[in-house]
Each structure stands twice: as structure tokens, then as C-alpha cells.
């Protein structure tokens, strides 16, 4: 059983909402990125999403775009990110999922990327702009290295494509709760629950929902119908504001503890029933 599956098993056993955190590797620099990942793990993040900076981050809003620019300016590459994960893997309990666009993977070569990711201790990979219809060979390459392939689904994803993603995916399915680019919002998207329900009908995999989540109340709301909430821009903003200051990791830990302690008290009866039904399949 993969570390990702084990993490979601613990989340279910604890009857709480999981927390997936996203950061851009290399922001503010690679050394501090390692400190940030360790801080996230200490604070209790259930899964760590590590973004490989790419020069054309089409799905990212301004907060993460700025983080990508800082990381690239600091000399961060896909190879450097894999080296970073390899350095911190032994000290981090949480699963690590690489979040990337297809270009850096193809430039390195799928087999080389897979080998380096496996050797670094990567648990999952999400390739944002890889079409589901063209993902079979990449998924097989990752599966051969015991790396889970994570798929991203949106409110406009058809039921047929959701079914295909569920068949190919491992670990969990990631739903984006609103259309558009990443970015913290004041409210959860109206269609988030509907999206989660559609995903539940085609998969027994755990479901994580993201895009726009930045507060304990958002985590609580997501916990009504999904297994985990994904926090990205809100956390990246904390990192940007702290910069290279001496209290960077302290602020990162405080933010994650705030989200978890105030936002993840437990799951409601409806989620509990869904979890039981899914486990029985």
C-alpha cells in the first residue's frame, strides 16, 4: 500500500478532513524550500504537493505565478526539485506529490523523470496539462515505479472522462472546485459539492478538492463532502510575505496548524456514510 493510501486511511480512521498543502519548490530558494517542507510535515499536513516551477503556468493565478517567477529566478529546475525531495524525504512522514506541467517531464524524458522521482522518494505525480486520453503510457511508467498518478478534474469534466480518470488514477482524485486559475477566495464555489458527488459516483478513490481554499471555515465546508482540502495560494502568500525572514518556517507552521485545528474537527454524518459505503466497495 502506498504512502498516499496509508495517509487517507489514517484520515478516515480519525474521522476528520485531510489537509493537502501546495508550495512552489524554490520559493524563496531551494534551501528554504526544504525547511518549508519539513515545517509543513511538523505542522501536520497530511500530503505535501510540491510544484515544479514552469515558465508558462497557465492554470496558476497571480500568487503562484509570482512564486514561480521567484523560484525560476533562483535557478530552480526539475532536476533541482527532485534533488530537494531526495534530501528531505527521510525526515518527512507525509506523502509527497509532484505537481508539474508536461513540458519539464518531456524535456527530461519520461523514464529518466520516473527513475529520479522513484529514487527521490516521490509518492505521486500530477501532470496538470496532460490530457486523460493521452495519459495511459505515462501512468504505466509511473505505476511500474510505484508512483501514483493523480488526475485533476473540474466542473466541466464530462462523466466519461471522470470515469476514465478514475480507472487510470491511483492514490486520490483531485477536483478543482471552480473554473479559472488558482487563488484564494472568500467563499467556497457553489459547485464544489456537486463536483464531489459526481466524482463519488465513478470512483472509490479518496477525493481532495482545491482552488480557492484558505481558511478553517473553507476546510470545514470541504469536509462535508470530500476527504481532503487542498490549500495552495493562501499558503504561498504566507511564504511570499515572510520572504527570507527568520520567522518563515514559524509562520508556515502556524498557518497550517490554524487550518487544521480550527477547520478539521471531524466529518459530518453524511461524509461518514459516504466513507463507509466507499470502503465496502
Residues 227, 17: Cα–Cα separation, whole Å: 6
Residues 10, 18: Cα–Cα separation, whole Å: 9
Nearest to 225 by CA among 206, 244, 243: 206
Residues 273, 109: Cα–Cα separation, whole Å: 43
CB atoms within 10 A of CB 273: 11
Task: Please confirm, yes or no, whether 60 is among the known catalytic residues.
Answer: yes
C-alpha cell at position 45: 499536513
C-alpha cell at position 199: 466524482
Nearest to 172 by CA among 59, 273, 57, 95: 95
Strands (E), 96-203: 96-100, 124-127, 148-153, 173-176
30-59 b/e with 16+ CB inside 10 Å = b? bebbbebbbbbbbbbbbbbbbbbbbeebee
Among candidate residues 46, 49, 148, 253, the one labeled active-site is 49
Cα 16 to the chain's mean position, in Å?
Answer: 17
Among candidate residues 60, 123, 227, 253, the one labeled active-site is 60
3-state SS class at 7: helix
Please report which helix (H) or strand (E) contains residue 231, including its range.
strand 228-231
Which residues does the annotation mark as catalytic?
Answer: 49, 60
Amino acid at each position: 500500500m502506498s504512502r498516499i493510501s496509508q495517509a487517507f486511511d489514517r484520515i478516515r480512521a480519525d474521522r476528520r478532513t485531510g489537509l493537502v498543502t501546495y508550495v512552489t519548490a524554490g520559493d524563496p530558494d531551494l534551501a528554504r524550500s526544504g525547511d518549508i517542507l519539513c515545517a509543513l510535515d511538523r505542522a501536520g499536513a497530511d500530503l505535501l504537493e510540491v510544484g515544479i516551477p514552469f515558465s508558462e503556468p497557465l492554470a496558476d493565478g497571480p500568487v503562484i505565478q509570482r512564486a514561480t517567477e521567484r523560484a525560476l529566478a533562483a535557478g530552480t529546475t526539475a532536476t533541482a526539485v527532485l534533488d530537494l525531495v531526495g534530501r528531505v524525504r527521510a525526515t518527512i512522514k507525509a506523502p509527497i506529490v509532484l505537481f508539474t506541467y508536461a513540458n519539464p517531464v518531456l524535456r527530461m524524458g519520461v523514464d529518466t523523470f520516473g527513475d529520479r522521482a522513484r529514487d527521490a522518494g516521490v509518492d505521486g505525480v500530477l501532470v496538470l496539462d496532460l490530457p486523460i486520453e493521452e495519459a495511459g503510457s505515462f501512468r504505466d511508467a509511473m505505476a511500474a515505479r510505484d508512483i501514483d498518478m493523480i488526475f485533476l478534474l473540474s466542473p466541466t469534466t464530462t462523466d466519461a472522462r471522470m470515469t476514465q480518470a478514475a480507472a487510470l488514477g491511483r492514490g486520490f482524485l483531485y477536483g478543482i472546485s471552480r473554473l479559472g486559475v488558482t487563488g484564494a477566495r472568500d467563499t467556497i464555489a457553489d459547485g464544489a459539492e456537486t463536483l464531489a458527488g459526481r466524482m463519488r459516483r465513478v470512483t472509490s478513490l479518496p477525493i481532495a478538492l482545491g482552488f480557492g481554499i484558505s481558511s478553517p471555515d473553507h476546510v470545514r465546508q470541504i469536509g462535508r463532502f470530500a476527504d481532503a482540502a487542498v490549500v495552495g495560494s493562501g499558503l504561498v502568500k504566507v511564504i511570499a510575505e515572510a520572504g527570507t525572514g527568520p520567522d518563515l518556517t514559524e509562520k508556515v507552521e502556524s498557518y497550517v496548524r490554524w487550518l487544521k485545528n480550527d477547520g478539521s474537527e471531524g466529518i459530518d454524518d453524511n461524509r461518514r456514510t459516504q466513507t463507509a459505503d466507499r470502503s465496502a466497495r
